[in-house]
Amino acid sequence: MQWWHQLVMDIRLNKRSIVVSWNDLKVCMRVRFVPPHHRKELLLKLQRLEFTLTKINMHESKESKITRFIGGLR
């Protein structure tokens, strides 16, 4: 809550641009709450998943892999 109040105050003082869309808010929250190494870890997990699927000879479309992976993240 403190972060949100600080964000609103920064916007009022013109220290930060206005958050006008859901995507803008997600970017602000990602910068604040997601550690920088998290993206790299997720990419490594995706690569391991693809390797495992190849190893067991399971073939699926790239779209379905990405959809399943993103579903797991949510």
For 36-55, write each residue's pLDDT tens digit. 888 888 888 888 887 887 77
Could you tell me the residue range of the domain that residue 14 belongs to? 2-33
44 lies in the same domain as 17: no
Residues 26 and 46 in one domain: no
Do residues 28 and 44 both lie within one domain?
Answer: no
Choose between 59 and 19: higher pLDDT: 19
The one-letter code for the residue type at 24 is: D
In this structure, the answer to whether residues 67 and 42 fall within a common structural domain is: yes
Mark whether 41 and 67 lie in a shared domain: yes
For the chain, what is the domain count? 2
Task: Spell out the alpha helix ranges (H) of 1-74.
Answer: 2-12, 22-33, 37-55, 62-73
pTM: 0.42
